[in-house]
Amino acid sequence: QVQLVESGGGLVQAGGSLRLSCAASGSIFSINVMGWHRQASGKQRELVARITSGGSTNYADSVKGRFTISRDNGKNTVYLQMNSLLPEDTAVYYCHLANGWRNPLDYWGQGTQVTVSS
């Protein structure tokens, strides 16, 4: 069974930075997509950023220029560098894996809380 474990969340003041990490273990296919989603209190979950095993990235408009997603395929680990944090970034951040190319299977981490104080 695939398992995703996030780390790096916490409390930071506006303008600060955090780096989230997500390590995947188990049967990870070479072709996959990993990403970060977030859900703020009272709001729907939204895609923050994702990256393919080939290195192609996508970002939500709200984080472009501030967040950077990267990955280490050898470690099956994805990172989210978050700079210039805003109170609006406060949310639970979830790591996601779409495992495989044909009929990929979805896996989710347990979530890590990011709180940005004003």
- Residue 28 has a pLDDT of 95
Q: Are 4 and 109 in contact (CB under 8 A)?
A: yes
Looking up tokens 């979530």 gives 111
Q: What is the pLDDT confidence band of residue 1, given thresholds at 50, 70 and 90?
A: confident
pLDDT in tens, 69-84: 999 988 999 999 999 9
Name 21's Cβ contacts closer than 8 Å, sequence gap at least 6.
6, 7, 8, 77, 78, 79
CB atoms within 10 A of CB 14: 13
